[in-house]
Amino acid sequence: MAKKQTVLAGKRKLELSNLDKILYPGDGIVKAEVLQYYVTIAPYMLRYVRGRPLSLVRFPDGIEGEQFFQKNRPDWVPEWLHSVKLGDIDYMLAEEDAAVVFLANLAALEFHQMQMRPSVSQDADYMVFDLDPPENSNFEIVRDLALNLRPYLESLGYHVFVKTTGGKGLHLIMPLLPHSYDIVFEAAKAAAIDFASRNKGVTLEIKKERRAQNILLDVYRNRSGQTIVSPFSLRGKPGAPVSMPLSWEDLERARSPLDYNLRNAYDLIRQGDPWEGMYAHTAVPHNARAKLAPVTAELETYKKKRSFDKTPEPAPASSAATGQSFVLHRHHASHLHYDLRLEQDGALTSWAVPRGLPPRPGIKRLAVHTENHPIEYLTFEGKIPKGQYGAGEMWIFARGQYEITKQKKDGFYFRTHAEGLHGEYRMIHTRDKEWLMERLDEEPRLDFEPMLATQTETVPSGDMIFEVKWDGIRALVFIEDGQITIRSRNGRDITAAFPEIAVPDSYHASSAVLDGEIVCLDGSGRPVFQNVIRRLQNGANKKLEQKFPAFIYLFDVLSLDGKRTLKDPLHLRRAWVQDLIRSGGAVRFSQSYPDGQALFDAAKEHGLEGIMAKSPDSPYVLGRRSTSWVKIKVRSTMDCVIIGYTEGEGGREKLGSVHVAEKTESGLHYVGKVGSGFSDEDINDLSARLATMEIEKPTVKVPKVEKGTWVEASLVCEVEYASKTRDGMLREPVFIRLRPDL
Cα–Cα distance measured from residue 515 to residue 272, given in angstroms and rounded to the nearest whole number: 18
469 belongs to the catalytic site: yes
Strands 215-218 and 202-203: parallel
The pair phi, psi for residue 503, each rounded to 5°, is: -110, 110
- For 470-496, give one letter per residue: b (16+ CB within 10 A) or e: bbbbbbbbbbeeeebebbbbeeeebbe
Q: Which of 469, 563, 614, 633 is labelled catalytic?
A: 469
- Nearest 5°: CA angle at 360, between 561 and 514? 40
Cα–Cα distance measured from residue 96 to residue 359, given in angstroms and rounded to the nearest whole number: 18
Q: How far is CA 472 from the centre of its chain?
A: 27
Which of 447, 300, 312 lies closest to 383 in space, CA to CA?
312
Question: Is 685 exposed, middle or buried (CB count within 10 Å of its CB: 0-12, 13-18, 19+)?
Answer: middle
The pair phi, psi for residue 531, each rounded to 5°, is: -75, -40
Cα–Cα distance measured from residue 101 to residue 104, given in angstroms and rounded to the nearest whole number: 5
Cα–Cα distance measured from residue 632 to residue 377, given in angstroms and rounded to the nearest whole number: 42
Which of 162, 57, 157 lies closest to 104 in space, CA to CA?
57
What DSSP string describes 18-53?
-TT-EEEGGGTEEHHHHHHHHHHHHHHHHHHHTTS-
Within 13 A of 139's CA, how many CA atoms are on the CB side? 16
Cα–Cα distance measured from residue 164 to residue 143, given in angstroms and rounded to the nearest whole number: 10
Within 13 A of 113's CA, how many CA atoms are on the CB side? 28
Q: Which amino acid is at 591?
A: Q
**Where in the sequence numbering do the catalytic residues fall?**
469
